[in-house]
Structure 1
Amino acid sequence: MIHCFTVHGARLVLDAHSQSLHEVDGLAWEILTGEFSGRPETVRVLQERYPAAEIEGALGEIEILRRQGLLFAPDPHPDYQPPPPEVKALCLYVSHHCNLACRYCFARAGRPDTVRKLMPSGVARRAVDLLISESGARRHVEIDFFGGEPLLNFPVVRDTIRYARERGEAAGKRVGFTVTTNGLLLTPEVRRFLLKNKVNVVLSLDGRPEAHDRWRRTPGGGGSHREVLPKIREYVREWEACRGSRGYYYVRGTFTRHNLDFAEDFRYLVEQGFHNVSLEPVVAPQDEEYALRERDLPRVRAEYERLATVYLEAFQADARVRFFHFEIDLDAGPCLPKRLSGCGAGHAYLAVDADGGLFPCHQFVGQSRFWLGDVFSGVARTDLVDAFRQTHVYTKKECSDCWAKFFCSGGCHAHAFLENGSIRHPSWLGCATMRHRLECALYVQARISEITGSKS
């Protein structure tokens, strides 16, 4: 399966199954975008515009790549069977409360009508015990602290990290940690702890003040950018100055239909000194006025192409700059289950609410139909676990013949359910957005290879 596309005039051909990317000339493009078979009539048509020797040479090169498995490669996993359930990561919903009231927040944390609850240390510790016992022979496991605002429950975050390290060492496992925070509670004490303990930190900042303040508001209704930015900047400054091992950080923003010029938000964040940036499209029901709609897709596509240009300019000025969704490794990508099943929600990755309830991921927390069990008694809904485990790119009709399947891994289950009422049918809008973002990412990787190659 090959996918032919252009970005900024570059003719690119991806072999989906071998994940080989080729930039081709006009002749090869005409051959590959047609019904290539090497038949005599194909050659006769091309001879009207190209010399016979050039056509023969191009066909020969294509045939060599085919024999090398770099073009028209067969599907490498047609009989894929997912591995048995094995928990590799937990998302601990340590706070159902937030010190902001972001209008697009799916958790509705921080709003007056939301139940405010913090996870007790005992629940968090039982979650750690569950992770250790259900991760089998896996040596590396992960715990994400989420909310709401998880740093509202910092004592439990701190205790859980210490407890998990002890339990992990005793079991021969290494535990990694990630905190997603709006930054308001990044006090000197918290910053020191996160850096010392090599905790990965995702920092929520939507970009320019007007884009951020439109949605990320205080409970009183005011904007939060003025207070958040210096706290995040200080954390990143200390991260940059940290010597020795440390976790990673990403400044993560959300864009809606009200800032479809989100390349400017990327530019703004880089100008603030942030090297690691992510901008995600909002996930929301179509009746929300900020939700992306089908009619927004042409602008979104154009903006990702503009973002590719802005990103390459930033990368050439400072090679440390990273945009999360342009980071594609064509040579050594994710492991097989991750390529085919994504995050592993519902069978390899579980979320834990403040009371210890288990759910497929943080976006399903609170939905009774997706309750899986609890940290005290373990998983009760093995049927639901198996339904998630058996949902992968080969069981999704829309995915099995899609060129992007090994990059997007079938998309987000929660987004699929939100749009279609089924985890087996991915979001059409999400897929359309993802595919063009991937095209831009592949274009960026091709250009970075040129840039870094020219410097070596």
Structure 2
Amino acid sequence: MVHQFKNNGYDIVLDVNSGAIHVVDDMTYDVIALFEDKTSEQIIEELGDKYSKEELKEAIEEVQELKDNGELFTPDNYEGYITDLIDKRPTVVKALCLHIAHDCNLACKYCFAEEGEYHGRRALMSYETGKQALDFLIANSGNRVNLEVDFFGGEPLMNFDVVKQLVEYGRSQEKIHNKKFRFTLTTNGVLLNDDVMEFANKEMSNVVLSIDGRKEVHDRMRPFRKGAGSYDLIVPKFQKLADSRDQNNYYVRGTYTHFNTDFSEDVLHLADLGFKQVSVEPVVTDPKEEYCLTEEDLPKLFEQYDKLAAEMVKRKKEGKDFNFFHFMIDLEGGPCVAKRLSGCGSGTEYLAVTPWGDLYPCHQFVGNEDFLLGDIWKGVQKTDIVNKFKKCNVYSREKCKNCFARFYCSGGCAANSYNEKGTINDTYDLGCELQRKRVECSIMIKAAEADMESGTEEE
């Protein structure tokens, strides 16, 4: 399978199954488009008005050579691999999302957690429950050494003392069980202070800072419960934390909606504030909500991603570069095959824990009793649900089979699929459209960076 596209002046060809990427001229681009379905003579006849016969012959030979070398039109050899993976690989838990607080000091309008309540009650996780969660993770992680724990909410800093106690407990268990914890924290920044920053810089491998972009955009969607905006309070704190971490191992994370389909301005606003690690993601919500993204928004959103990609290339040349989370793809190493086929591991390797110890496949399923797996004392009891998630991959989703982006998104989010289609084995269609555009932009940026390194970029 081959995918061809043009972006910001580049003609790009992606060989989906091998992952090989080719930046080509117009003639080679046109030859590749006909190569599988037509003979050399038919290609020359069809393109003869645009290019010379000799040039076309040379291009056809080059394309054939790429095919012979396994860099174009390669077969898909992964479907059998994922079947063996499901049947033979034992499942171990390697990551927990600890809902340290089902409570929040903001009232974000798009929050899937209902201001931290998750369709249930407000609650803070006790130290005893958190300790049992870490014990559960250690006990169910098999021989895996590196374990991940994200302190999540609601707003986890509303329960900061317990966060500190649990980190201390986790560190005390590392040598005993030959484990290493990687702790992360997601915060809206309202309670962020010097003590929290000092602790985070010592213990947190990554910190996620929630901010939507421009002041008017952020304050519209992320106000306090009485209506006041939170932008002015959090921005100086976030800037201080980012600088204190040398602009690494954190990212500012925003959400764009129907109200700011010009979201590239929000990304660039965050970059102009000095943030080097930025993520601004599309809202996923009930279609009845006025801020929900629609199919009619797609042309504008595609334009925004193209605009952002071009601006990032420009800023890279000027030495003012920054990372945009959705454009960060590794074209050489990248995730392992299992990860590329099966995704985030929700429901199998990655679980969410409520403040009272219930287990769910991930934070987005919390509160949906149909996905309650068990608890941290008795363990996972609904193994039938786990098996459904284990079998969820790019080959279990019919729409993924012919999608060029499938090995970059791993089929997309199971929760988004369930919320739109009622099954984890389908896709969230609008999200797929956006993902495909992001992959194209990501590849274009890599092509431009390669040109910069070789000194061949066009002025």
How far did residue 453 of structure 1 move?
A: 3.3
RMSD: 1.8
> Counterparts of 1:378 and 1:202 in 2: how far apart (Å)?
29
Q: Which position in structure 2 is the counterpart of 1:162?
A: 168
How far did residue 287 of structure 1 move?
A: 0.8
How far did residue 220 of structure 1 move?
A: 0.9
Q: Which position in structure 2 is the counterpart of 1:77?
A: 78
Q: Which position in structure 1 is the counterpart of 2:243?
A: 237
> Counterparts of 2:452 and 2:167 in 1: how far apart (Å)?
41
> Counterparts of 2:18 and 2:175 in 1: how far apart (Å)?
38
Contact 1:101/1:111 (<8 A) preserved: no
CA shift digits 1:136-161 (9 cap, x unpaired): 11121110111100111111111111
Q: Which position in structure 1 is the counterpart of 2:396?
A: 395
Secondary structure at the aligned position of 1:199 is classed as strand
Q: Which position in structure 1 is the counterpart of 2:225?
A: 219
Secondary structure at the aligned position of 1:94 is classed as strand
> Counterparts of 2:118 and 2:133 in 1: how far apart (Å)?
29
> Counterparts of 2:302 and 2:285 in 1: how far apart (Å)?
19
Once superposed, which parts of structure 1, at least 4 consecutive aligned residues long, lie more than 4 Å away?
Answer: 110-114
Contact 1:315/1:322 (<8 A) preserved: no
| 15 and 366 in structure 1: CA distance in 2 versus 1, 3 angstrom threshold | same
Contact 2:312/2:321 (<8 A) preserved: no
Q: Single out whichever of 232-241 and 344-353 deviates more from structure 2.
A: 232-241
> Counterparts of 1:253 and 1:294 in 2: how far apart (Å)?
21
Alignment of 1:44-123 (within 5 A): 44-79=45-80, 80-81=82-83, 82=86, 83-109=89-115, 115-123=121-129
How far did residue 112 of structure 1 move?
A: 13
Alignment of 1:270-419 (within 5 A): 270-318=271-319, 321-419=322-420
> Counterparts of 1:93 and 1:324 in 2: how far apart (Å)?
24
Q: Which position in structure 2 is the counterpart of 1:2?
A: 2
Secondary structure at the aligned position of 1:303 is classed as helix
Q: Which position in structure 2 is the counterpart of 1:244?
A: none
Q: Which position in structure 2 is the counterpart of 1:443?
A: 444
> Counterparts of 2:321 and 2:312 in 1: how far apart (Å)?
11
| 388 and 114 in structure 1: CA distance in 2 versus 1, 3 angstrom threshold | closer
| 387 and 177 in structure 1: CA distance in 2 versus 1, 3 angstrom threshold | same
How far did residue 313 of structure 1 move?
A: 2.4
TM-score, length-normalised on structure 2?
0.95
AA paired with 2:377?
Answer: F
> Counterparts of 2:200 and 2:341 in 1: how far apart (Å)?
32
TM-score, length-normalised on structure 1?
0.95
> Counterparts of 2:424 and 2:118 in 1: how far apart (Å)?
31
> Counterparts of 2:367 and 2:119 in 1: how far apart (Å)?
15
- Structure 2: runs of 5 or more not aligned: none
| 111 and 134 in structure 1: CA distance in 2 versus 1, 3 angstrom threshold | closer
> Counterparts of 2:76 and 2:149 in 1: how far apart (Å)?
34
AA paired with 1:70?
Answer: E
How far did residue 111 of structure 1 move?
A: 7.9
Aligned residues: 451
How far did residue 171 of structure 1 move?
A: 1.5
Q: Which position in structure 2 is the counterpart of 1:429?
A: 430
Secondary structure at the aligned position of 2:151 is classed as strand
| 112 and 427 in structure 1: CA distance in 2 versus 1, 3 angstrom threshold | closer
Q: Single out whichever of 220-229 and 28-37 deviates more from structure 2.
A: 28-37
Structure 2 residue corresponding to 1:144, chosen from 135, 144, 150: 150
CA shift digits 1:382-433 (9 cap, x unpaired): 0000000001001111112211110000000111111111111111111111
> Counterparts of 1:379 and 1:111 in 2: how far apart (Å)?
23
Q: Single out whichever of 206-215 and 318-327 deviates more from structure 2.
A: 318-327
- Structure 1: runs of 5 or more not aligned: 242-246
> Counterparts of 1:102 and 1:30 in 2: how far apart (Å)?
49
Contact 1:95/1:152 (<8 A) preserved: yes
How far did residue 110 of structure 1 move?
A: 5.6
How far did residue 51 of structure 1 move?
A: 1.7
> Counterparts of 1:314 and 1:96 in 2: how far apart (Å)?
40
> Counterparts of 2:399 and 2:90 in 1: how far apart (Å)?
24
Q: Which position in structure 1 is the counterpart of 2:12?
A: 12
Q: Single out whichever of 162-171 and 11-20 deviates more from structure 2.
A: 162-171
Identity %, equivalent residues: 42
